[in-house]
A = this chain, B = another copy of it.
Amino acid sequence: MLPPGLLPEGLRDRLPPAAEAQATLTATMMAVFAAHGHERVSPPLVEYEESLGSRLASAQRRELLRFTDPVSQHTLALRSDITGQVGRIAVTRMAAAPRPLRLSYAGPVLRVRGSQLAPERQSQQIGAELIGLDSPAAARAMLALAVEALLAAGVPDLSIDLTLPTLVADLHAAGLPAGTADLPTLQALLDGKDAASLRAHGASAYEPLIAAAGPADAALARLAALPLPAGRLDAVAAVVAALAPLDISVTLDPTERHGFEYQSWLGFSLFGAGLPFEIGRGGSYTLLHPDGTPEAALGFSLYIDSLVEAGLGTTERPRVFLALGTPQAEGEALRAQGFITVAALCEACTPQGCTHIYEAGHARPLA
Contacts and interface: CB of A to CB of B under 8 A. Distances in A.
Contacts of A13: 41-44, 85, 89, 93
A352 B15 contact: no
Given A39-B17, A46-B11, A94-B15, A71 B112 contact: yes
A254 to B, nearest CB: 25
Given A5-B93, A46-B122, A66-B67, A319 B37 contact: yes
Interface string A176-208: 000000000000000000000000000000000
Nearest to A291: B4
Contacts of A9: 71-72
Contact of A349 (B11, B71, B100): B100
A353 B96 CA distance: 12
A39 B12 contact: no
Interface stretch (A158-166, A212-220, A230-238, A335-343): A335-343
How many monomers of this chain does the complex have? 2
B27 A42 contact: no
Contacts of A15: 41, 89, 93-94
A50 interface: yes
A353 B97 CA distance: 9
Nearest to A331: B36
Contacts of A17: 39
A253 to B, nearest CB: 26
Nearest to A70: B112
Contacts of A98: 350, 352-353
B46 A8 contact: yes
Nearest to A95: B5
Contacts of A8: 46-48, 69, 71-72, 74, 76
Interface stretch (A132-140, A260-268, A271-279): A132-140
B50 A34 contact: no
Interface residues of A, number: 92
A346 B43 contact: no
B89 A133 contact: no
A290 interface: yes
A135 B34 contact: no
Contacts of A135: 345-346
A7 interface: yes
Contacts of A245: 328
Interface stretch (A18-26, A167-175, A221-229, A357-365): A18-26
A319 B138 CA distance: 19
Nearest to A16: B39
A65 interface: yes
Contacts of A93: 5, 13, 15
Nearest to A3: B290
Contact of A40 (B7, B23, B51, B122): B23
A23 B30 contact: yes
With most chain B CB atoms within 10 A of its CB, the pick from A2, A66, A91 is A2
5 contacts: A5-B93, A8-B69, A8-B72, A14-B42, A15-B93
The 4 A-B pairs of least Cβ separation, nearest first, read: A5-B92, A67-B67, A16-B39, A19-B42
Given A19-B105, A71-B112, 17 more contacts: A3-B290, A4-B290, A5-B88, A7-B51, A8-B74, A9-B72, A16-B40, A18-B42, A20-B40, A23-B27, A37-B343, A45-B122, A66-B67, A71-B113, A98-B352, A102-B342, A107-B108
